[in-house]
Structure 1
Amino acid sequence: MPVRWPLLELEPPSGAAKTRPLCLRPGSDAINMDQQDNCKSQAKDASPRLTITDLSEARTSLNATDTPGPYHVFPSGRKKFLVGVIGVAGLFSGLSSNIYFPSLDAIAKRAGSQCVSPLLWGSLSDTVGRRPIYIASFTVYIISNIVLSLSPNFPVLLVFRGLQAAGSASTVSIGNGVIQDISPPSERGAFISFYQAIRNFSIAIGPVLGGVLANTFGFRSIFIFLAILSSLVIIMLILFLPETLRTIAGNGSLRLTGIYKPLVARISVEPPYMQDPNETVQRKKVTLITFIEPLRLLAEKDIFLNLLFGGVVYAIWSMVTSSTTNLFKSRFGLNELFLGLVYLPNGCGTIAGSAMIGKLMTRDYKAAEVAYKLAQNLPPSYKVPAKDIPADFPIEHARLRHLPWIASLFTVSTAAYGFTLAYPTLTSKPGWIAVPLALQFLIAAMSNAIFALNQTLVSDLCPGKGASSTAINNLVRCGLGAVGVAFVEAMITNIGPAWAFLGLALITVAMAPFAAVNWYWGQQWRAARTKRKAKMED
């Protein structure tokens, strides 16, 4: 018997009977309220379809998890606080590169270390814990900044700049691992978007700070500033961040000891739900396979296509960002201080895009869960298992539903952006600078909305590998971004900004089929992977 994903459901408008949900197929209008009883019959004609050979086992698994314990015991307020803490820690990934934009073209120099280091740190954090790796990576970062502020020559500057990037880049992957630890899929989209919005504040403020510091105190003051700020953050992590890796902390109810226990917990009253582990925790040993295992995710078709599409969008956004200094300096004659200010729309766009898509993903997941229960004749109280999403639950549709219009707006904005900077008759007009900056805002907002969708879905597809999945995502994105940044100046010089960015927009169009393939076949590939994994465990 085929298992089908028939419908997307939305909550009824205000004033409508809330016990009778509206049914909506992708691209269709809501059906009449009087037709609600026909929702189940409509499932027969819906597509795409997925056949699971052993439905009885899948149904048994569903029934076995009808009344699971909480995914995590932390209340919503504490989860938001922790996401805020790791978001502040994640500021340094963007801050450590964007703060140089007004005066240095540092992206190409940092690309190698920022691509590879999350793979190492992320793999370790999925094995030995989030908290010790956070502390270790920030220690590397602080030492690097101190040396950079005193560096006597260029080779020392280059080496420790790479170590600085290695320390800061890890914060993104570890932070996403924490979010996967504490949040079920129904909350994950909102938390990842909230986390991304906090981190992206550094993209908005970094160039401004860099311009002010470099103009006032010289470039070495940037490293002193980063060293002081990161020292305050590592103190915050030591004080407040508990270990969240589920093999160590469970769902937050296992008693922590040693480095895994935050200092605040040592002097505060212990919650009543805390308990000792029933047996000694058996953690994985760190071996060479620990660092190679994330690379195996690239062999999964749905994950690879997701990463590839998101990586191309990231590369184009990086090319827009990295070329801003030269383009705006030559077109509008800006000094370093004002060059820092022109990055504000880009930074604000990243925050706006992340905040917007977080709300949409939460709504879409809830709608998908309601539709799934209806299609499977499950009781209203049933909750989709958070640890292992059922093979027949359409998580791909729940996450990717808004991707078409977001990608379209990103493409159009990118295509138009180059033309606004191509002609002196336009750039010489008073106030014209606002036009390309407005397009930068849209490019940043839409690209970061895509990043949040992409990262949330990859986390859903890789349960228990939150940091590793983010690390491999960063590897693909930074690798493609480094290639793009290396060629963008040559493209602009040889064919002009109009045709350069139009070409990048067309590349996005060419990549669109990969997202479409994931929509139609991603669920089938995920089901096959789930079945294969179950056989290996048996």
Structure 2
Amino acid sequence: MITISGFLSPLSLNIYFPVLPVLARDLGVTVSLINLSVTSYQIIQALAPMFFGNFGDTAGRRPAFIICLAIYIGANIGLALQRNYTTLLVLRGVQSFGISGTLAQCYAVVADLTTTSERGKYMGIVGMGMTAGPGLGLLLGGLLTQYFSWPSVFWFCLIVAAAWVIPYILFVPETCREVVGNGSVSATGWNRTVMEWLWRHKDQTEHQCQPQPQKRKFHLPNPLPTLVICLQKDMSMILLFNAILFASIFMVLTTASTSFVEQYGLSQIQVGLCYLPYGVACCITAMVQGRILDWNYQRIAKKIDFTIDRRRGDNLRHYPIERCRLELASPIVFAGVLALVGYGWAIEANTTLAVPVLMIFFVGLFLVGGHTIMNILIVDLYPQSPATAIAANNLTRCLLSAGGSAVVKLMVDAMGHGWCFTLVGGALILMFPILYVLVKKGPGWREERRVKLCKD
């Protein structure tokens, strides 16, 4: 369920790209104006989790998911029915606000249900939906646009969202530890599933003899905790590195769709098919890398004589979690940089189509792998408020990727694909000292933060 929810946000962004020229024609506006709906989507995608991240950590995952999906479904209905550019621009923003709020909740649910020693495997599975979304979204968008009309794209998103949210409301229980603890505290109000409500209503007489759980107060969304996390010493470095990493991936995906059409004469459906190796690479990364991370966690624990508590979770005060995650991230990201540069020069040299497609596969395998590791580390550092921490990550990465997608065409026009992605790869290499500083200084900064929180 959570993997599918994570899939919806990148799907909603990328399924839209094949529709752009058709929308411009039908609404009687230029492609440049239609492109503004993409930029507005990305900006709101960065901001929305700031509100829903903290809300999910305090009010619970279920209220956050349900509100987000309700907004998203309503926006899709409006988008499918609208025939006006201004309405399109507004509703795309509403659509982004709804579905982008679920991103932080997805990782937060994993943090609720898993301990640090086994988190890598499950975070990888959830990340698989998020990273497979771009490739499948482009393919589905091309198919729907070619064989139906552009409103079918929004009807499709609506159907997928409704098929997800109905069983979620009925059956999926609350996981937020602030609300239900380790599962021993009964959920109340809309934190209950429909089935839980029916069961308790049926046995109401029996439960009248037992103490009823206290109803929780409604918490308004608060973006300030997200901004506070962005200013922490270690988190600011992690967020910067991860944002550049994510922006580089997005720049590859953005230029590939244009380059494959202009240089290789592909149709939108064929372009979508070229993204399938990227999706396959993301799936491989999700299945394999998480297990490697968990193995490395156990290896280091054994080496430093650290006892793993699989029941209550580990106290990381005396465990070098930064070293555990980042010593694997460094070589993986370096391999991804080589693929990134290789992709640029393959397009520049106008090689056979198989070469840039293969490079995109390796970008998905390595750069997405490095991005996933950084996401896991962020949750490791903030296990009590994972949605808020991921919201901070989403804020920085989406803003930088929006900027990257805006300037990458100018960079390609000015210096060509080869030097453009050599420059992007060089920027990533220049960030590598950050990883070394985090390994050395991170545990101390983490302890300083813990002591300060205890005093407060």
Larger of the two Rg values belongs to structure: 1
Alpha-carbon deviation of 1:388?
A: 6.8
Does the aligned pair in 2 maintain the 1:114–1:165 contact within 8 Å?
yes
Amino acid at match of 2:229: L
Post-superposition CA distance 1:417-437 (Å, at most 9, x none)? 11111134x3xxxxx111100
* 2:159 maps to 1:228: yes
Amino acid at match of 2:418: A
Aligned residue in 2 for 1:509 = 429
Aligned residue in 2 for 1:95 = 11
Mapped to 1, the partners of 2:305 and 2:236 lie a distance apart of 29
Aligned residue in 2 for 1:295 = 227
Structure 1 counterpart of 2:272, from 340, 345, 354: 340
Aligned residue in 1 for 2:292 = 360
Mapped to 2, the partners of 1:530 and 1:255 lie a distance apart of 29
Alpha-carbon deviation of 1:353?
A: 2.0
* 2:211 maps to 1:286: no
Does the aligned pair in 2 maintain the 1:102–1:325 contact within 8 Å?
no
* 2:108 maps to 1:177: yes
Report the RMSD for the aligned CA atoms in angstroms: 2.3
Alpha-carbon deviation of 1:268?
A: 6.8
Aligned residue in 2 for 1:322 = 254
Mapped to 1, the partners of 2:215 and 2:369 lie a distance apart of 38
Structure 1 counterpart of 2:402, from 461, 466, 482: 482
Does the aligned pair in 2 maintain the 1:193–1:452 contact within 8 Å?
yes
Q: How many residues align?
A: 435
Post-superposition CA distance 1:286-321 (Å, at most 9, x none)? 37xx32111101221111111111110100100001
Does the aligned pair in 2 maintain the 1:311–1:481 contact within 8 Å?
yes
Alpha-carbon deviation of 1:403?
A: 1.3
Q: Helix, strand or coil for the counterpart of 2:174? A: coil
Does the aligned pair in 2 maintain the 1:249–1:255 contact within 8 Å?
yes
Mapped to 2, the partners of 1:283 and 1:131 lie a distance apart of 15
Alpha-carbon deviation of 1:458?
A: 0.8
Aligned residue in 2 for 1:499 = 419
Alpha-carbon deviation of 1:522?
A: 0.7
Alpha-carbon deviation of 1:114?
A: 0.3
* 2:240 maps to 1:308: yes
Mapped to 2, the partners of 1:281 and 1:140 lie a distance apart of 25
For 1:88-487, list aligned pairs within 5 A.
Answer: 88-104=4-20, 107-266=38-197, 280=214, 285-286=219-220, 290-373=222-305, 383=309, 389-424=315-350, 426=351, 432-487=352-407
Amino acid at match of 1:286: L
Alpha-carbon deviation of 1:207?
A: 1.1
Aligned residue in 2 for 1:4 = none
Mapped to 2, the partners of 1:191 and 1:168 lie a distance apart of 21
Mapped to 2, the partners of 1:168 and 1:277 lie a distance apart of 37
Aligned residue in 2 for 1:29 = none
Does the aligned pair in 2 maintain the 1:103–1:336 contact within 8 Å?
no
Structure 2 counterpart of 1:520, from 437, 440, 450: 440
Does the aligned pair in 2 maintain the 1:101–1:340 contact within 8 Å?
no
Task: Provide TM-score, normalisation by structure 2.
Answer: 0.90
Percent of residue pairs bearing the same amino acid type: 29
Amino acid at match of 1:513: P
Aligned residue in 1 for 2:31 = none
Mapped to 1, the partners of 2:369 and 2:384 lie a distance apart of 24
Q: Helix, strand or coil for the counterpart of 1:401? A: helix
Alpha-carbon deviation of 1:248?
A: 1.3
Mapped to 1, the partners of 2:215 and 2:168 lie a distance apart of 23
Aligned residue in 2 for 1:50 = none
Alpha-carbon deviation of 1:445?
A: 1.8
Amino acid at match of 2:106: G
Post-superposition CA distance 1:346-400 (Å, at most 9, x none)? 22222222222211111111122222326xxxxx6x6389567342211111212
For 1:37-48, list aligned pairs within 5 A.
Answer: none
Alpha-carbon deviation of 1:87?
A: 1.2
Mapped to 2, the partners of 1:517 and 1:265 lie a distance apart of 48
Mapped to 1, the partners of 2:392 and 2:218 lie a distance apart of 20
Aligned residue in 2 for 1:34 = none
Mapped to 2, the partners of 1:488 and 1:394 lie a distance apart of 37
Aligned residue in 2 for 1:76 = none
Mapped to 1, the partners of 2:410 and 2:315 lie a distance apart of 46
Does the aligned pair in 1 maintain the 2:110–2:119 contact within 8 Å?
yes
Amino acid at match of 2:358: A
Greater helix content: 2
| Structure-2 change in CA distance of 1:286 and 1:140 (3 Å) | closer
Structure 1: which 5+ residue stretches go unaligned? 1-84, 375-379, 427-431
| Structure-2 change in CA distance of 1:216 and 1:530 (3 Å) | same
Q: Helix, strand or coil for the counterpart of 1:421? A: helix
